[in-house]
Amino acid sequence: MGRGRVELKRIENKINRQVTFSKRRAGLLKKAHEISVLCDAEVSLIVFSHKGKLFEYSSESCMEKVLERYERYSYAERQLIAPDSSHVNAQTNWSMEYSRLKAKIELLEKNQRHYLGEDLESMSLKELQNLEQQLDIALKHIRSRKNQLMYESLNHLQRKEKDIQEENSMLTKQIKERESILRTQQNQWEQQNRSHDISPPQQHQHQHPYMISHQSPFLNMGGLYQGEDTNGDEEEQS
């Protein structure tokens, strides 16, 4: 016995309404995914529950691209329908721009909360898996960039170390050359000092007899006595 046709009206029972919403929502998201894959169509689906929770699906990586395309298409259609109503079109454009920016801000705020791990109760299992995949991809990019910076920093330090080693080698070579020059100069100075320190042969000094007589008083002792005797004889004679 086949199941009868369900009358399309609001389900009064709160629990049955919630169960039906969950089942129909899952089926709707599944059908949207199937038509996007089978027919290569660009599909976006937005559903708000009676409590205000958002459920969405997009065949693209970002819902914003589909919404912007829809707005451009809708604007072009309205321009073709009423090309002369410029004033009305301007007001409509401002209203659309305001709505678009407001929706974009709300979407960005919601994504930011999701990336921070907040407000995850309204997300389905598939949405959580997509969020996890996006975070994994972001972490891979972050790690790749970090590894690249660390590799560049390591190469810079290695080049700096090599430059310092080359500079040290050059300074060591200069020091050795200066030490060699100083040793050579010192050896030359020592050789010159040795040649100047050789004393000439001692020469005999010729002394004057008068100097010898003053230096040796004993040689004039006889003369002094003779002088004293002469003076004594002169006194006796006088």
Dihedral of alpha carbons 57, 62, 66, 67, sign? positive
Q: Which residues of the chain have pLDDT under 70?
A: 1-4, 6, 75-92, 197-238
Give Cβ neighbours of residue 41 (< 8 Å, ≥ 6 apart): 35, 59
Strands 44-48, 54-58: pairing kind: antiparallel
- In this prediction, residue 102 carries a pLDDT of 85
3-class secondary-structure state, position 69: helix
Distance in angstroms (rounded) separating the CA atoms of residues 50 and 25: 13
- In this prediction, residue 17 carries a pLDDT of 87
The string of pLDDT tens digits covering residues 103-124 is: 888 888 888 888 888 888 877 8
- In this prediction, residue 130 carries a pLDDT of 85
Give Cβ neighbours of residue 97 (< 8 Å, ≥ 6 apart): none
Distances (CA, A) of 198 to 72, 186, 190, 194: 112, 19, 13, 7
Task: Parse the chain into domains and list their residue ranges.
Answer: 12-59, 62-122, 124-190
Give Cβ neighbours of residue 120 (< 8 Å, ≥ 6 apart): 114, 128
Domain 12-59 architecture: 3-Layer(aba) Sandwich (3.40)
Percent of the chain past pLDDT 90, that is, above it, reads 21
- In this prediction, residue 204 carries a pLDDT of 46
- In this prediction, residue 158 carries a pLDDT of 93
- In this prediction, residue 81 carries a pLDDT of 57
Q: Is the pTM of this model over 0.75?
A: no
